[in-house]
Chains A and B, each alone.
Chain A
Amino acid sequence: MKTQSFGSFISRSLIRIFLAFWSLTVIFPLVWLVYSSLKNNREFYESPWKLPDVLRLENYQNAWVTANISSYFLNSLIVVFGALVFYLIMSTTTSYILAKYKFRSVKFFQNFYLAAMMIPGVLLLVPLYYQMLALKLTDRLITLIILYAVQGVPFAVFILTGFIKNIHNSFIEAALVDGASEFNIFTKIILPFIKAPIFIVSLLNIMGSWNEFTTALTFIRDETKYTVPIGLSYLANTMQYRTDFGALFASLVISMVPVLVLYAFFQKQLQEGTAANEGVKG
């Protein structure tokens, strides 16, 4: 065991203090959000610090029922689930084709999906909006489902193609000898091999669709079709006329619950996945 010099002890402690301070900038606003969601308006104005006198759980009831978060929640679930299904069908099949089929333009399509990862989605919003308007596809959940599924395809193809390439051809040969069809090879051999990466890209897609704000705001104007993020923005904007901080804070907390649960269980996969995504773009 090495003895530490006094100087390094001080710098170590300083760094430790700063690490702790930065973690407070993350933890404190969220803790404040959660306990404030149990206060009423009077308590909000009295003191921003103060803990609630009694836990006003009715804020959550107000958020869920009166502020209609339940309906936004359901819409979001439909979008998340629908997008995930489309996304997985499109990206797994395309990855299989690009990894294991040999045809002349395969290189072109590989590069195409690779380059497509660099397209910033926000830049497409304006032309896409008028395209969807012409097709009468605004104010529909299916639009969000398609967009969330399609926009994630290049990244998923990039990840999954790499994994499928690693599957040894002898497994496919053996199946061919047994007379398996292409579809059977895909579902019985390829998919089971890439369960882990499929799980990671699915997680990223779920989180992305649940949190997505700008696209949803652009394409959904009908209140009954709101997803959670635009529902929250609508609630925050209507606060100018009818103030209920408690219900708004409770809605924010409710919207965080699903991602928080996923993060708590699958922190490692999520961090690896987004880091891979970032590594690609750099």
Chain B
Amino acid sequence: MQKDLQLKTNKMKNIESVERLTSSKKRFILAFGVPTFMLYFFFCIYPIFSSIFTSFHSWSGFSDMEYIGFENYLNILKDPVFVKSAINDFTIVFFKEIIIISLVMLFAISLTKLRLSRAETAFYRFVYYFPNILSVIVIANVWAFFFNPRIGVMNEIMKLLRLEFLIPENGWLVEHTLPVIIFIASWCGIGLYMIVLISAINNVPAEIYESSEIDGAGQWSQLVNITLPSIWSQVRFMVVSILYGSLASNMGLILPLTNGGPDNASIVMGLYVYQKGINLYRVGFANAAAVCLMIISIVISLSSNYILARREEK
């Protein structure tokens, strides 16, 4: 009896010690948790604060800083190139959303509901996702050469289709810069979002379909009444995530592809920040632009999320 009791209290002590912060746990935190947090803070959080701070200064990165208040911000909003880069960003995002969302819905529904053979589905899953594993530099080069008027195949394809009159004289990337960029950016995004949506569709319980079949619902009405409503919240996620992701990361593709050219035709906000800050040493100015970009992306993403969520409630 006594032994039993002792065992029990021992056990309780042990349970307690799993939860309690013992000195050896404190040592573990000091050895691993704290350094990780400090490194993360120093390389990923501190730069945000320093960019907000320098955005109110005139600074070349080497000289002394000079406080100038909101002058950088005013100059940015007055700069037609920044306005153009914002317009380009939104144009790219707008068409990207339309292309990615519609194609991804078509593909995801086809691959889950058309009852294709297993091999076919596996093949498309493998191929459509493929662009996601490539580096932007590979993507940029492959497509730049593909559209290249001298050695690329795009013009040859147009000739084959008897569409020579559509061939731009100075090359696709020069005359149709934004449409080409939109195409490539959408091409990169489709596979990932398709995978996300496929798993959302597969999460809908099969019983719902079975019972609706008994009620005499056809495939089309199942699609409209069951599949689409159940993936709507996922689609909403996608819209916001494409929006938020693109505003910051459009520049990742455009930098190696056109570097904003020709003549700022494809400049975007992220690239504007990069060029001013890294190439032209206008650090304070670039940081002010970065803060603007940050504010714009957060505001736009939150408000679009809010609007879409409200619509869902109705």
Contact = CB atoms under 8 A, between A and B. Distances in A.
B244 interface: yes
A23 B127 contact: yes
Interface stretch (A51-59, A61-69, A179-187): A179-187
A49 B106 contact: no
B128 A182 contact: no
Nearest to A210: B135
Interface stretch (A77-85, A194-202, A251-259): A251-259
A131 B192 contact: no
B39 A23 contact: no
A186 B44 CA distance: 27
A278 B135 contact: no
Nearest to A39: B151
A14 B18 CA distance: 61
Contacts of B277: 125-126, 129
B27 A267 contact: no
A130 B131 CA distance: 33
A214 B249 CA distance: 10
Nearest to B274: A125
B48 interface: yes
B297 interface: yes
B36 A153 contact: yes
A142 interface: no
Given A256-B138, A278-B241, A282-B240, A93 B133 contact: no
B312 to A, nearest CB: 14
Contact residue range for chain B?
Answer: 35 or more
B128 A22 contact: yes
B40 A279 contact: no
B19 interface: yes
B252 A214 contact: yes
A16 to B, nearest CB: 8
B76 interface: no
A252 B142 contact: yes
B36 A127 contact: no
Given A44-B151, A126-B286, A183-B28, A19 B124 contact: yes
A169 B18 contact: yes
A71 interface: no
A232 B187 CA distance: 21
B132 interface: yes
Interface stretch (B163-171, B193-201, B224-232): B193-201
Contact of B153 (A32, A97, A103, A267): A32
Interface of A: 8, 12, 15-16, 18-19, 22-23, 25-27, 29-30, 32-33, 44-45, 47-49, 89-91, 93-94, 97, 100-103, 109, 116, 118-120, 122-131, 133, 146-147, 150-151, 153-154, 169, 172-173, 176-177, 181-183, 186, 207, 210-214, 217-218, 228-230, 232-233, 236, 245, 248-249, 252, 255-256, 259-260, 262-263, 267, 270-271, 274-275, 278-279, 281-282
16 contacts: A8-B219, A22-B107, A48-B153, A90-B39, A90-B40, A93-B32, A116-B40, A119-B48, A125-B277, A128-B47, A213-B252, A232-B137, A275-B195, A279-B237, A281-B244, A282-B241
